[in-house]
């Protein structure tokens, strides 16, 4: 597979991921939160705070997809192992970590206020584990890309 073809595939996957994120955050979450607020808490007074909280968790995801798009563009330019891509991966790692911390703090606030269903708390914890894994993997990839960029620069100087 050529660099250009890989870049096109990555762009396609990133577009599909962005569509999925938008569907979840603009359609599925509002509908689910409204149903939960009415069913479990006898009113929709919690809908707006929960909606604002959950919608804000999607912002870092969309920003990270933007950085993934830039990485895919660099791969298409045959510049896979560069300091720029390492920096982009580091930013993605930090975005994932910040999103996990924000999400967990919000879930804890809702739980301490007594307005968190236990099943939602467990699901949120599992989502935090996934976000933390993404953060660690992105940080590890950033480190490896940076090391490969240094090796590439050394090889370019000797040739």
Q: Domains of the chain: which residue ranges?
A: 3-158
- Expressed in angstroms, the distance from the first to the final Cα of the chain is 26
Residue 127: CB atoms within 10 A of its CB come to 16
pTM of the model: 0.89
pLDDT in tens, the chain (159 residues): 788 999 999 999 999 999 999 999 999 998 888 777 766 665 567 778 888 998 999 999 999 999 999 999 999 999 999 999 999 999 999 999 999 999 999 999 888 887 777 888 898 999 999 999 999 999 999 999 999 999 999 888 875
Q: Where are the extended beta strands (E) located within the chain?
A: none
Residue 158: CB atoms within 10 A of its CB come to 5
């Amino acid at each position: 597979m050529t660099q250009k073809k890989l870049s096109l595939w990555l762009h396609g996957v990133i577009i599909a991921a962005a569509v999925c994120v938008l569907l979840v955050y603009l359609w599925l979450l509002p509908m689910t939160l409204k149903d939960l607020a009415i069913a479990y808490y006898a009113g929709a007074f919690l809908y707006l705070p929960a909606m604002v909280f959950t919608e804000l968790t999607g912002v870092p995801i969309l920003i990270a997809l933007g950085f993934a798009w830039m990485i895919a563009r660099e791969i298409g330019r045959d510049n896979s192992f560069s300091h720029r891509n390492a920096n982009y991966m580091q930013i993605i790692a930090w975005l994932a970590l910040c999103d996990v911390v924000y999400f967990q703090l919000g879930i804890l606030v809702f739980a301490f206020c007594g307005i968190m269903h236990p099943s939602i708390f467990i699901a949120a914890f599992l989502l935090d584990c996934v976000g933390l894994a993404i953060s660690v993997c992105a940080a590890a990839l950033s480190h490896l890309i940076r090391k490969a960029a240094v090796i590439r620069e050394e090889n370019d100087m000797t040739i």
